[in-house]
């Protein structure tokens, strides 16, 4: 069994806001992330898959294929977009780093041939990142 990790980058805007709360409550909990004009990050996504090495190709998965899946399922949807307004899963869920990791897991699960999704890691900044190992982990 080999773990294989592929990175991808996307740059997006977001803000943190819970509609049922007053502005003061939102600012108390979310601080400057509650600015409704939004702000942005250069995110780095690391997707780790687990699988066995194909005896012929020597691959766990075809990296080009994995890159194309990440591009199609995540980067083309998230990159240079406002997560709150333009990405459907964040219409009612706050796009925290944790929730982005969970959402990306759900976008990718079952779509990678011959390998099992092992971990989704999302860096919001080099000093802040979230890991998600799926519902059963």
By DSSP bridging, strand 39-51 and strand 81-82 are unpaired
Q: What are phi and psi of 110, to 5 degrees?
A: 80, 0
Nearer to other proteins, 57 or 135 (CB): 135
Nearer to other proteins, 71 or 93 (CB): 93
Of all residues in the chain, what percent are helix, strand and coil, respectively (each to 5)?
35, 30, 35
Catalytic status, residue 41: no
Min CB(98)–other proteins separation in Å? 4
Min CB(56)–other proteins separation in Å? 27
From 18, 23, 25, 80, the catalytic residue = 80
Conformational region of residue 31, where left means phi above 0, alpha means psi within -120 to 50, and beta covers everything else: left
Catalytic status, residue 89: no
Nearer to other proteins, 35 or 96 (CB): 96
Min CB(122)–other proteins separation in Å? 10
Min CB(81)–other proteins separation in Å? 18
Catalytic status, residue 124: yes
Q: Which residues bind other proteins (CB under 8 A)?
A: 16, 18, 29-31, 93-99, 101-102, 119, 126-133, 135, 137
Question: For residues 10 and 79, what is the distance between their CA atoms, to the nearest angstrom?
Answer: 5
From 33, 71, 82, 118, the catalytic residue = 33
- DSSP string across 47-64: EEEEEPPPTTT--SS-HH
Number of neighbouring beta carbons within 10 Å of residue 6:
16
Active site residues: 33, 80, 124
């Amino acid at each position: 069994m080999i773990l294989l990790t592929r990175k991808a980058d996307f740059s997006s805007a977001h803000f943190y806001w819970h509609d049922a709360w007053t502005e003061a409550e939102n600012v108390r909990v979310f601080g400057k992330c509650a600015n409704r004009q939004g702000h942005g990050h250069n995110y780095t996504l690391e997707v780790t898959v687990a699988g066995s090495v194909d005896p012929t190709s020597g691959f766990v998965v075809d990296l080009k294929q994995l890159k194309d899946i990440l591009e199609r399922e995540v980067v083309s949807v998230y990159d240079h977009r406002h997560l709150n307004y333009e990405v459907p899963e964040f219409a009612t869920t706050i796009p925290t780093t944790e929730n982005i990791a969970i959402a990306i897991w759900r976008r990718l699960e079952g779509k990678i041939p011959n390998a099992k999704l092992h971990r989704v890691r999302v860096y919001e900044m080099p000093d802040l990142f979230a890991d998600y190992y799926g519902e059963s982990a």
